[in-house]
Structure 1
Amino acid sequence: MSTTRSRARARIPRWFVLWMGLLAALVAVSCSALFWQLAAEGTLPTIVVLWFVLGVLGAIALLFGLLGLLRYRAFFYSLVSPLLLGVLVALVWFDIPEATGWRLSRPILEDQAADCANPGHRTRLGIYTITYITSRDGGCLFYTQAHESNSGGFAYFSDPATPPHIGPPATNGVEYETFEGHWYRFVEHH
C-alpha cells in the first residue's frame, strides 16, 4: 500500500509543483496587497488593477488546478491558490480589511483631531494617507487619498451633538453619514 502512495506522489511532475508554488506565492502577494489597499482606503485605480490581477491569477490557478486534480491527483497543490482567493473574498465580504484599517488608525486620528492642524502636505495617520485636515461645521475633517476626486474622508465631532445635518446637503456642501461614536464619514459636493 505504501508503494502505491509513493508512486502516486512520484507521478506529480516537478514543473507542476514549482509552477503551482509560484502561482500560490503570486496569489498570496496579490491578496495581501489588495487587503492593504482596502484597509488603507487606497486609490480606486490601484484597487481595480489588483482585482484584475487576482482575476487573471485565479483563472490560471483554476485551469492548472483542474489539470492537477484530474491528471496528477495533486489536491494540495491544486487547491492552495483557490483557497487563498476564497479567504480574501470572505474577508472582503465581511468588511474585515476596512475594519482592520479603522481599528489600526482610529487612535492616532483621535489624537490628531484634538489639534485639527493641517500639516501642509500629505501625511500618513495610522494606515490612511491624509491629503488635508481642516475644521468645519464644528468638527475636524480628514480628507483621505481614496476620496481625492470626491473630496471625502472621516469627520470627528467632539460635541455630542451631531454635525449640522446627516445626509446630502440642500445645496453644495458636505454630506455626513454616521460612522462610529463621534466619527462620521463625509463627502464634499462641489
Structure 2
Amino acid sequence: MVATTTLVFGICSWVVWAEMTAFEDLQTQFSAGVGCAIPVLAWSVSALVGHMRYPGWWRLALLVPLFITITLVVTWFEVPGRIGWAMSRGERERAAADCRTRVTSSSSYHSEKVGAYQFHDVDRLLDGACLFRLARDHPVVRSGFLYLPNGERLNGVYGHTYYVPLGGGWYYRRFDELLSCRTCNRLGPTG
C-alpha cells in the first residue's frame, strides 16, 4: 500500500509539473493515465486485502483516490498552468518586447527558456505578433503562446488552431488535430 501510494503521488506530481510548464500537456496526461493503471490495480488489491485483514487500512487507502482526485480537479481548472503563467510574467514580457524589436522572423531553431517554459523557438510574425512555440510534440510543434501587441482579440477556433485568451494580448494556442482530421476528410485524399 505504501509503495502504490508513493508511486501514484509521484505520477500525480509529474502531471502537475508538466501542466505548469506546458499549460496543457495532453501527452503527459495520457502517459500518466496509462502509468497509473498498474499502481491503481495493485492499490485495489492491497485495499481489498487490507480491508479483510487489517482494521486500520482505510486511512492509507484513502490517499491514492485523494491524490488522483486532486490532480484531476486542479488540471481540469488549469490551476498549474495559471501558476506557471503567473510565475513567468516578468520574463515573458521581456521576451515579448525582445521579439517585437527583431527586424525579421527567425525561422531557425533556437531553444529559449522563459520563466517556467522551455520554448522550441520564438518567432516574430509579419504583423508584429510573436509566436512562442513550446518545446513539446517534436518534430512538429503544435502548441505555444501568441502575443498580439495591437490589441486584436482572438477567442475560440481559427483554422486548425484553438486560442484561449490569457489577458494582456496573450493567448494559449493549440493545434487541434480533430479539426485537422475533419478538414482532411472533407477535402478528400488530395487535400
RMSD: 3.0
Q: Specify the SS of the correspondent of 1:40.
A: helix
Quote the offset at 1:55 in angstroms.
2.8
> Which residue matches 2:134?
144
* Pairing partner for 1:153 from 144, 150, 153: 144
- Equivalent positions of 1:31-42 (< 5 A) are 31-41=12-22
- Percent identity, aligned pairs only? 25
Pairing of 1:5-154 with structure 2 (within 5 A): 20-41=1-22, 44-73=26-55, 74-116=57-99, 121-136=110-125, 137-146=127-136, 148=138, 149=140, 151-154=142-145
- Give 3-state SS (helix, strand or coil) of 1:52's partner: helix
Number of the residue aligned with 2:172 = 185
Counting matched residue pairs gives 167
CA contact (8 A) 2:121 2:132 kept: yes
Do 2:148 and 2:170's aligned partners in 1 also have CA atoms closer than 8 Å? yes
User: Tell me, which stretches of 5 or more residues in structure 2 are unaligned?
Assistant: 181-191
Q: Deviations over 1:38-61 (max 9, x none)?
A: 221276444322221123222221
Q: CA deviation at 1:158?
A: 2.7
SS in 2 for 1:77: helix
* TM-score, with length taken from structure 2: 0.72
Question: Counterparts of 2:73 and 2:25 in 1: how far apart (Å)?
Answer: 21
The change in CA–CA distance for 1:37 and 1:176 in structure 2 (over 3 A counts) is closer
Indicate the structure (1 or 2) with the bigger Cα radius of gyration.
1
The offset of 1:142, in angstroms, is 0.6
User: 1:167/1:88 Cα in 2 relative to 1: closer, same or farther (>3 Å)?
Assistant: closer
Report if the CA contact (8 A) 1:43-1:145 is conserved. Answer: no
Structure 1 residues 23, 158: closer, same or farther in 2, change over 3 A? same
- Distance in 2 separating the partners of 1:80 and 1:109: 37
Q: TM-score, normalised by structure 1?
A: 0.72
Residues 178, 87 of structure 1: alpha-carbon distance in 2 compared, 3 angstrom cutoff: closer
Moved over 4 A (4+): 117-120, 163-167, 174-177, 187-190
Contact in 1 for aligned 2:153/2:169 (Cα 8 Å): no
The answer to whether the 8 A contact 1:123-1:131 is kept is yes
